[in-house]
Every structure is written in structure tokens, then in C-alpha cells.
A = this chain, B = another copy of it.
């Protein structure tokens, strides 16, 4: 939920946005053998949250989600997918939003639209860490990457939302080509394996992993090789085309 970045969103009635519906985005990156999540911090509150936003009156839901994510990281080519809708009544807690608005000099009326109950549609995004440019909105103190297992406390049920997003990512690992979106253009088989191991939270056997990945037929060896340490140079790979889902196999 609840990036409040434009004048219209602080409007008492929320004209121009759909009521009672928010989008929360779990944006995953991968760097230094760590899964990262993008979090924002509301100005002057010390409150951390997932990036989020609302749906404009004439905007497609998925477009709204893409807008919310790309505003935060400055990229357009993003893997983005709905994973769950969070709609328990117990999520409803207007107090925190009063604090956030107060810290921005807004004293909302009790029937301000942002203090109403919201159903939140959860999206998860996979982005290339090396190209993403975390960009805070006006009412954020910060917008940055955090290690998945070293996050600050988040508002509402956002920690749970991250957990659920990770579970979705894990179970999609067999069906979708995840690396395509989390790794730079070229990468070694070791890089890819590290990514998988980090997402799954367990070690994989190298020969079996390599054999399986090559058998998928979605990797292409780039003729170039790596330079670096005192050992055999690994191949660099890239993904062949835009095949993203191969669940039919």
C-alpha cells in the first residue's frame, strides 16, 4: 500500500483513483549472492513499507502496477506478476496512515479516502539489480534495497506479503525462467546456480544443475569467455529469446 506521491492522492476524496483498492509491489533484485527487496521509508516517521500505489480511474490494473514499479526503479522491461490479493479486515489500521500524513503536514479528516479500508493486490517484480535506479518519491526519506533476510520491520502485513511473494517465486522456479529478469545480460553457469540456490535457500549439485539448464534449450553460449582467477574460464551465457513460461513441457 500507499505511496502518496501526487497532489491528487492527498485529495480528501481521492478523485481520479479507484476506491478501496491498492497495489503493493515486492520488487526482487539479486546482488552479492543475496536476494534483495526494494523498500521505502515514509518521511519523518521511520516507517518502512513496500512500494505501492493506486489505480487511476481509466487505467488497466496491470498498467498501474507497472507504473508503480517503474516509478521506483526507472526501468520499463520488468517481469511483473500478480501473486495474491490481501483482503483480511484485520489489515485495516488507519492510525499508521494518520501518522504518515501528519509527518507530511496533512491533517486528514476522519473520512479521508486514504483512511478507509483497502484491499491490496500483491504483485512481485524481478529486475536487473545492475540497471535499477531506486528513486524515492517526495514523501519518502529513502527508497533502497534490503537483504531479504535483514529487512527492517514493515508496516501492516507487509512482511507477510514479502514472505508470500518469495513462496510464489520459489514455486514458480520450475515453470518460469527467473534468471532472465534477475541477472544481467551475460552470466556464467555459476552465477545462475547461485541465484537459484539463493532463491531456494539450499545448495544444488553443480553437474545436475548444469545438465538440466542446458537441456532446457533456453541458454546460448556467448563465444566470449571470462577472465579472472587461476582456473579454467567459464562460458558466458545469455537467454535465447523471450520464452518466459515453459510450463507446457
Quick one: which of B59, B85, B86, B171 contacts A89, CB cutoff 8 A? B59
- A61 at interface, CB cutoff 8 A: yes
- A60 at interface, CB cutoff 8 A: yes
Interface contact A88-B117, CB-CB below 8 Å: no
Interface residues of chain A, those whose CB is within 8 Å of chain B, are: 18-21, 55, 57-62, 64, 82, 84-90, 117, 119, 121, 171, 175, 247
Q: How far is the CA of A55 from the CA of B91 in the complex (A)?
A: 14
List the number of copies, as a whole number.
2
5 contacts between A and B (CB under 8 A): A21-B119, A60-B87, A61-B87, A85-B85, A85-B121
A-B pairs, top 8 by smallest CB distance, nearest first, are A61-B87, A19-B19, A18-B20, A60-B88, A19-B20, A58-B89, A60-B89, A85-B121
Determine how close the nearest CB of chain B comes to the CB of A12; give it in whole angstroms.
Answer: 15
Sample of 4 further A-B pairs with CB below 8 A, known A61-B88, A82-B85: A18-B20, A19-B19, A55-B87, A82-B84
Q: How far is the CA of A38 from the CA of B57 in the complex (A)?
A: 31
Determine how close the nearest CB of chain B comes to the CB of A21; give it in whole angstroms.
Answer: 6
Determine how close the nearest CB of chain B comes to the CB of A168; give it in whole angstroms.
Answer: 11
Q: How far is the CA of A64 from the CA of B87 in the complex (A)?
A: 10
Q: How far is the CA of A60 from the CA of B90 in the complex (A)?
A: 8
Determine how close the nearest CB of chain B comes to the CB of A198; give it in whole angstroms.
Answer: 19
Interface contact B19-A119, CB-CB below 8 Å: no
Determine how close the nearest CB of chain B comes to the CB of A95; give it in whole angstroms.
Answer: 17
Quick one: which of B20, B62, B87 contacts A87, CB cutoff 8 A? B62
- CB-defined contacts of A19 to chain B, threshold 8 Å: 18-20
- CB-defined contacts of A57 to chain B, threshold 8 Å: 117
Determine how close the nearest CB of chain B comes to the CB of A147; give it in whole angstroms.
Answer: 25
Closest to A118 in B: B18
Q: How far is the CA of A18 from the CA of B117 in the complex (A)?
A: 8
Closest to A86 in B: B61
Determine how close the nearest CB of chain B comes to the CB of A102; give it in whole angstroms.
Answer: 25
Determine how close the nearest CB of chain B comes to the CB of A56; give it in whole angstroms.
Answer: 9
Q: How far is the CA of A86 from the CA of B21 in the complex (A)?
A: 13
Closest to A92 in B: B58
Say whether, besides A84-B82, A85-B85, A55 and B18 are in contact (CB < 8 Å): no
